[in-house]
Amino acid sequence: MKDIFVLMEHRRGELREVSLELLSGAAGLGGTVVAVLLGSGADDFAAKAAGLADKVLYVDDPMFENYNAEAYQKALSALIKEHGPGLVLMGHTGHGVDLAPALAVELGAPLVTDITGLEMDGDKPKPVRQYYGGKLDAHMVLKDADLYILTVREATFQAAEPSKSGEVVKVANPVSEDISYRKFVEYVEPEVGEVDITQSALLVGVGRGIREDKNLPLLEELASALGADLAASRAVVDAGWLPADRQVGISGKTVKPKLYLAVGISGAFQHVTGMKGSEFIVAINKDPDAPIFGIAQVGIVDDLLKVVPALTEKIKELKG
């Protein structure tokens, strides 16, 4: 079997967890696992990758201090042409999504994105991915090719304990020209709000199911009866009903409260990623098939506009 390239993803001095997950997942596929690290003074990442890879290809150049699609695409396509792997894996992240389709078009390599499961048929991947916000699994068949590219959803594989000591091979930067049309400027942290929901013991998560912001007071009353803070899905933040610092999920916060009460939230994986570590999860949703019921311990299938006021009353009664 041909080699498997796994792209190491790092940001602001940290090797991202998805890189280790992918190295661990690739180990079960059969080929030689090659970690590809484009970095600047990133010897510590190379060492970390070596613990889970058979080999580390490390390009050390200031060009790669911060992710840049142009620089990454040029370097990766050159390395791929030189070394001829049969499969390239990268995270389905803000980086992978920005890079993989352009690289795939350039190299003529079939690409499947956001995969959640993977088996191999010889050199050919047989990926599974989700459709319709997680309501269906799709089994994909790729065209025959010499090279395939996959972007893998975070947490599809579990990062294993380091068990290898792959050779770290420093290679010269294959990109000789300047990066011309796309320039990294800066990172800007999201604004900090008045409540830090990552510290809240009890959270009421509000979803698009509330329909209109005029229904928000119902949720505020429930939260105040419980002594909980309000959190939100992205849909609620996008609509401007609650501020961005309340957003739970992949592009918001990761929370682990004692109670997460999801109200009118469908349970898209981008949301679930941020709250699945909560100790006790309750969902109120009128759709019995909503994916949120797959991770909640207790659920109520009903209209939230009826259940929430009733629940607020009962909590008040119990508290006396």
Q: How many CB atoms lie within 10 A of CB 291?
A: 21
Give the 3-state DSSP-derived string for 204-237, with helices as H, strands as E and coil as C.
EEECHHHCCHHHHHHHHHHHHHHCCEEEECHHHH
- Under rule CB under 8 A, residue 139 binds other proteins: yes
Q: Which of 12, 79, 2 is nearest to 33 (CA)?
A: 2
Torsion angle, CA of 45/51/52/55, rounded to 10 degrees? 80
Alpha-carbon span 80 to 318, nearest angstrom: 64
CB contact at 8 A, 88 and 148:
yes
Taking the complex as a whole, the smallest distance from the CB of residue 70 to other proteins amounts, in Å, to 7
- Binding to other proteins by residue 320, rule CB under 8 A? no
Would you tell me which residues interact with ligand FAD (CB under 6 A)?
207-209, 233-236, 247-252, 264-266, 268, 270-271, 274, 285-287, 290, 303-305
Whether the CB-CB separation of 160 and 24 falls below 8 Å is answered with yes
Of the two residues 32 and 77, which places its CB atom closer to other proteins in the complex?
77
For residue 99, the surrounding DSSP H or E stretch is helix 96-107
Which residues, 6+ apart, have CB-to-CB distance to 280 below 8 Å?
258, 259, 260, 297, 298
Residue type for position 296: A
Q: Which does 176 bind (CB under 5 to 8 A by kind): ligand FAD, other proteins, none?
A: none
Q: Is the Cβ of residue 43 or residue 279 nearer to other proteins in the bound state?
A: 279
Q: Residue 60 Cβ, how far from other proteins at the closest point, in Å?
A: 22
Least separation in angstroms between residue 120's CB and other proteins is 15
Whichever of 123 and 154 has its CB closer to ligand FAD, that residue is: 154
233 binds, among ligand FAD, other proteins, none (CB under 5 to 8 A by kind): ligand FAD
Cβ closest to other proteins, residue 24 vs residue 113: 113
Residues of this chain, 94-113, that bind other proteins according to CB under 8 A: 94-95, 97-102, 104-106, 109-113
Q: List C-alpha distances in Å: 78 to 54, 171, 183, 223, 312.
A: 21, 12, 20, 55, 61
Q: 24 or 130: whose CB is closer to other proteins? A: 130
Could you tell me which residues come within 8 angstroms of residue 214 by beta carbon, excluding any fewer than 6 positions away? none
Q: Applying CB under 8 A, what is the total number of residues that bind other proteins?
A: 98
DSSP-assigned letter for residue 162 = P
For residues 99-110, one letter each, b for 16 or more C-beta atoms within 10 angstroms of the residue's C-beta and e for the rest, the string is bbeebbeebebb
From the list ligand FAD, other proteins, none, pick the one residue 276 interacts with, judged by a Cβ distance below 5 to 8 Å according to partner type.
Answer: none
Q: Measured from the CB of residue 190, what is the shortest distance to ligand FAD in angstroms? A: 11
Shortest distance in whole angstroms from residue 75 CB to ligand FAD? 25
Choose from other proteins, ligand FAD, none: what does 271 bind? Cβ within 5-8 Å by kind: ligand FAD
Residue 270 C-beta: closest distance to other proteins, Å: 10
Smallest distance from ligand FAD to CB 24, Å:
23
Given the complex with other proteins, which of 32 and 215 has the nearer CB atom?
215
Residue with smaller CB distance to other proteins, 33 or 112: 112
User: Please, which residue, 83 or 208, has the CB nearer to ligand FAD?
Assistant: 208
- Interface with other proteins (CB under 8 A), residue from 165, 213, 238, 277: 238
Classified as helix, coil or strand, 167 is strand
| Residue 70 binds other proteins, judged by CB under 8 A | yes
